[in-house]
Amino acid sequence: MDSCTPCLIGIAQRTIREQPGPEPLDLWESVAREAAEDARLPLHRLGSIQIVWTDSWQYDSPVGRLAERLGAHPRHRAYSAVGGTAPQRLIGEAAAGIAAGRFDAALVTGAEALATRRAYRKAGEHAPWSHPADPKPPYGWERPPHPSALAHGLFLPVHTYPIMETARRARLGRTIEEEVSERARIMAPMTEVAAANPYAWRRTARTAGELAADRRYVGWPYTRSAPNVLIAKPVRKGGDEVLKVVFPDGTRAQVRYPAKLGLAKMGSRPLWGAWVDGRFRQFVAPYAGEIEITRGGKPIRHFTPNVTLWPRPAGSGTRGQVLLFAFGPWRLAVYDVGQGLTFEQRMTMARQVKGRVTEDGYLVLSAGEGVRAAPPGTVVQDRPAGPQLWFGGLGKQRVALVPTPHCAGKARMPAIDGPGRRGEMVCRGDVLVAVTGPPEFRRMVLDKLRVTLT
């Protein structure tokens, strides 16, 4: 064999389940040392170190910090851009460098610690990790999204891939049920592989039937919880489903509807309004979570450990800067509209608006000194401003439940309607039910959905 023939001589892998776990730099170092031991290669012989981009933390010098830890002095150093093929591309570059005689040994590594970041965030703490980049670099797109895609929020794989998959289904002439069955058939054997792999994040084998029945949508046709919605589990009663819900003010209710309506599978999000010094602001839950606000960028300011200020997102019309609140897994955005809030008013909101997550996953909010919450039935600019739950997200089908005392005389359409989305509403006791979507869907909601405050 030629001395410049590339060979894979050492490997290592780790999955961290205990939280909080190590930071990415620690993970890079540990797997690098394990792989070098597997290869029986002294680390000082490394002529190349390449690292796959990590979303968990931006270091000031990723490759330099790892090389320092390993006692290596590689001539070739690379930190990848963001892309699904980045690991394979780096391996290809390492092999090409060895084949060309530029170096004798190369290390390619990568790590994510997003579960650890979430654990710190849930505890209201900042990740105490080393060597942060200052200033934070721009997001490392391999190919930045087109401005028109950014304007419509179409940049996450969870948004773009479903569009392509839906187009493929239409070209093949498949019904939705046929597509679900086919996708479940393809995925079921993969869960068996994961169940046998000690490094897999989820090690549960699932049958095709189980996968087809578990439709917790991110974006059609993908079935996993969306970033910023709650997929609660209803109770089946005959041909109906009964869903227990909690509104953002803590009010509880039972919602009964025909099972084929699929309300629970649409996922729910909280809306809540409040005044600070007489200026009204609405707290909304972006469907795709914080990435809709952050776009992989850097915040303008940290007000508290769970509240940050962000620039105006592209495509947000006349809205201004955004306060982003983190309450456990939930992300709520407060947009500046009209007369902007002062620094002091923003700080009051950051300090005085509190959130707790119920055992069943709903978010309940409360207001402290200087902030006044909008009670049920409040109307601002001819729209409901009190606590609400919205079901649905990116499609035309949406349902809003709005507690409204004396509903018949106070009903106002919540902001789920718009161009191409005709809205209708009906009062169910002291709860307003509003809906958009195809006529058959609207009629079923208006005629069959029942809400009982408990």
Residues 6+ apart with CB under 8 A from 144: none
**Residue % of the chain over a pLDDT of 90:** 62
pLDDT at 217: 53
* Half-sphere exposure in the Cβ direction for 283 (13 Å, CA): 37
For the cut 70, the answer to whether the pLDDT of residue 17 exceeds it is yes
For the cut 50, the answer to whether the pLDDT of residue 226 exceeds it is no
Q: Report yes or no on whether pTM surpasses 0.85.
A: no
pLDDT digit string, tens, across residues 31-66: 999 999 999 999 999 999 999 999 999 999 999 999
pLDDT at 442: 93
Within 10 A of 445 (CB to CB), how many other CB atoms are there? 25
Q: Are 225 and 266 in contact (CB under 8 A)?
A: no
Within 10 A of 32 (CB to CB), how many other CB atoms are there? 24
Take residue 210 and report the two structure tokens written for it.
Answer: 């189980």
- In this structure, of 67-76, 285-294, 303-312, the range with the lowest mean pLDDT score is 285-294
User: To 5 degrees, how large is the angle CA 444–CA 445–CA 450?
Assistant: 115
pLDDT digit string, tens, across residues 305-315: 999 999 876 55
Domain 1-142 is found in CATH 3.40.47.10: yes
Rounded Cα distance between 83 and 80, Å, is: 8
For the cut 80, the answer to whether the pLDDT of residue 258 exceeds it is yes
Question: Which contiguous run of DSSP H or E holds residue 317?
Answer: none
Extents of the domains making up the chain: 1-142, 147-224, 243-453
Nearest Cα residue to 220 out of 270, 267, 269, 290: 267
Q: Is 115 left (phi over 0), alpha (psi -120 to 50) or beta?
A: alpha
Q: Which residue has the tokens 């940050």?
A: 308
Rounded Cα distance between 228 and 35, Å, is: 38
For the cut 70, the answer to whether the pLDDT of residue 91 exceeds it is yes
For the cut 70, the answer to whether the pLDDT of residue 122 exceeds it is yes
Gyration radius (Cα) of the chain, Å: 25
Within 10 A of 189 (CB to CB), how many other CB atoms are there? 11
> Which amino acid appears at position 327 of this protein?
F
